[in-house]
Structure 1
Amino acid sequence: MTDAAPVRFGLIGVDSSHSVQFTTMLGDGRTGRVAGGTVVAAWKAPTVEDFPPSRDRNDWLAAELEALGMPLLDSPGAVAEASDALLIVASDVRTHPAHLRRLTRFGKPVFVDTRFAPTRREAVEMLEQATGDGCLVLAGSPKRFTPEFRAALGAAGGVERIDLDGPLPEQPHHPFLAWYGVHLVDLAVAAFGPGCETVEATGDRVTATWNDGRVATLRGDAEWTPITRGVIGTAAGEEAFEIEASAEMLAGLLESLISSCRTDTSNVPAAEILATVAIVEAAARSRELGEPVSVTA
């Protein structure tokens, strides 16, 4: 792979809308909306029958990819052999640890889409295996890479708090915040870094407090809407931003993945990956217990 050649990505799982969106946004690697990468192969992965996003979308999203000319190969290994880097876009977070375990031995960069792992323990195991196999792990919600969020964060300086409001729909077998709320959690971690100490999810919002006193609040409705809003607070004032979910929202993420593959550097530090998973896990525990809980470090 040279700087002049597009990074060849392979899809692992196709039951997320990102499978088609990534493919169309990248195009041929040179003339697409995001230049520098192209999707060359995909593995459909078995349908997860007890998970509606997989049960209801796996077949028709696979058909959409085939209509775009995408070869559907018979194994993750076959996709890895045909690719420079892998994109785990399977929608059910429960499948991510097993998918990554099958891919790290190839020593190629692997992106794990948005919902990295069901638990912090599994996330640690995933990262440890990847490190041992010389596999670069990439991650992150596309919302953290949007120009709207990056501009507000860059303009703020000395962030003391972040208030986030976005859709919080849930899905079976995914605890509170683990399906769509993870996007808000990832924005908070992108603003503050690791170090969240406590989470309270007992009322109409989630309050996450960092060990230096900084606070993130997360709220939203159970019905999905395309808009996520936020306010970043500093001693000097506030910076507001608004993100609209669309294919265009993915551009910054794709650019980060291409850059990471070319430079062999992470797009999200491992400590932030673990922090996001740990906060989601703590929020579910807080809601179940009805009290604030400590976040596993």
Structure 2
Amino acid sequence: MQRRSFLKNAMVLGSSAFIGSHAQAWPDSHLRISAPGKKIGIIGLDTSHSEAFAKVLNTATAEAPYNGYRVTAAYPYGSKKIAGSYNRIPGYIEKVKGYGVAICADIDELLKQVDCVLLETNDGHLHPEQAAIVFQSRKRVFIDKPLGANLKEVEQVYEAAAKYGSSFFSSSSLRYTSAIKKLKEDAAFGKVVGAFTFSPCTLEPTHEDLYWYGIHGVEMLFAVMGSGCKMVQASHATDVDVATGIWEDGRTGTFRGTRSGIYAFGGEVFGEKRNMVLSDYEGYEGLLNEIVRYFETGNVPVPVQETKEIYAFMSAYQKSKQHRGKPVELHRF
């Protein structure tokens, strides 16, 4: 079926299904009309994040900490080249329609209906173009990982934001685990002197190695170490990538990305007074709290320089790997 016909049919079916059945299938609390200024649009239904975010927000009780924000519209596309992503689009269309989400034919149509945006497209190659359209609207936007498929594309996202005078927020949910939150609030821990993190690190040939999934563990590393990394050295094997960074103050931080063994996230932080073990993935609620706070205030919760360094770190790893483990300095932009 051609994309235009498919989307037209999906929109017609979405409207009739919502009117005819979902009002009965879901409790009234799940079909509340969004408060003014709190309508969220999703770009990209090619990732599980889209369905998960819509579910959490649109089924939240009035007491939930999301201040009435709901996903009301979505544009499905989305990766066109990564089969594992675009094959999921039809299924996720049906799932988000079940939460009362309208399907739009293009991004411009979506922007007319919403107040803020979750850019969820799984394929980082599409982020510079899609983000630029949102930036022109001056609507606040959360851009899911990765910002691009390589550092050049990440720079393009920042350049577009600067051109249109817009801001954005981007982060992995692993930044907001209870252990990392506790670490930041516990003055008795003392200064972080080093850290080790790990996560799954599946590869996608169209993206730099750590961009596709290893970014989760790298985000954890920077969440506890902060910015200031100056150099990265790579160690690579078939089932593992190890990236060791040296910070300007002499501290070291290491990320281990795995493609075999147990599927888990975690690590350990080394402090002046004691150490702390980092917890595994705990869900999207912590991240969604920060997204809603950003939509409300416009204050980006992660320092811009820190997010930039995360991508510079991963690209420095790529270069070090290509040069058989030679240390590579981070590119500043």
Q: Normalized against structure 1, the TM-score is what?
A: 0.90
Compared CA separation, residues 168 and 33, structure 1 to 2 (3 A) = farther
Q: Which segments of 5 or more consecutive residues in structure 1 lack a partner in the other structure?
A: none
Give SS of 2:275's match. Answer: strand
Pair 1:277 & 2:311 matched: yes
Pair 1:14 & 2:25 matched: no
- Cα separation, 2, equivalents of 1:69 and 1:264: 26
- Superposed CA deviations along residues 141-171 of structure 1, whole A, max 9, x for unmatched, are 1110222321134333311111112211112
- Cα separation, 1, equivalents of 2:262 and 2:83: 18
Aligned to 2:103: 72
Aligned to 1:44: 76
The residue type equivalent to 2:279 in the other structure is E
One of 193, 214, 221 as aligned partner of 2:258: 221
Aligned to 1:295: 330
Aligned to 1:254: 288
Give SS of 2:280's match. Answer: strand
Q: Within 5 A, what are the aligned runs for 1:28-177?
A: 30-31=61-62, 34-36=65-67, 37-49=69-81, 51-155=82-186, 156-177=189-210
Question: Cα distance, 1:45 vs. partner?
Answer: 1.1
Q: Which has the higher contact order (CA 8 A, sep 6+)?
A: 1
Pair 1:180 & 2:213 matched: yes
Aligned to 1:239: 276
Query: Is 2:150–2:207's contact at 8 Å kept on the other side of the alignment?
Result: no
Pair 1:207 & 2:238 matched: no
Query: Is 1:167–1:224's contact at 8 Å kept on the other side of the alignment?
Result: no
Question: Cα distance, 1:46 vs. partner?
Answer: 4.8
Question: Cα distance, 1:192 vs. partner?
Answer: 2.3
Aligned to 2:229: 196
- Cα separation, 1, equivalents of 2:78 and 2:298: 31
- Superposed CA deviations along residues 160-185 of structure 1, whole A, max 9, x for unmatched, are 11111221111221222111111111
- Cα separation, 2, equivalents of 1:117 and 1:46: 14
Compared CA separation, residues 84 and 154, structure 1 to 2 (3 A) = same
> Cα RMSD (Å) of the superposition?
2.1
Query: Is 1:201–1:286's contact at 8 Å kept on the other side of the alignment?
Result: yes
Q: Normalized against structure 2, the TM-score is what?
A: 0.81
Query: Is 2:51–2:96's contact at 8 Å kept on the other side of the alignment?
Result: yes
Q: Which segments of 5 or more consecutive residues in structure 2 lack a partner in the other structure?
A: 1-34
- Cα separation, 1, equivalents of 2:79 and 2:316: 29
- Aligned sequence identity (%): 24
One of 255, 268, 280 as aligned partner of 2:302: 268
The structure having more radius of gyration, on CA atoms, is 2
Moved more, 7-16 or 122-131: 122-131
- Cα separation, 2, equivalents of 1:225 and 1:57: 25
- Superposed CA deviations along residues 169-204 of structure 1, whole A, max 9, x for unmatched, are 112212221111111111122222222111111245
Aligned to 2:11: none
- Cα separation, 2, equivalents of 1:33 and 1:117: 32
Q: Number of paired residues?
A: 290
Compared CA separation, residues 52 and 34, structure 1 to 2 (3 A) = farther
- Cα separation, 2, equivalents of 1:193 and 1:217: 13
Question: Cα distance, 1:263 vs. partner?
Answer: 1.1
The residue type equivalent to 1:64 in the other structure is K
Question: Cα distance, 1:70 vs. partner?
Answer: 1.5
Give SS of 1:205's match. Answer: strand
Question: Cα distance, 1:27 vs. partner?
Answer: 1.2
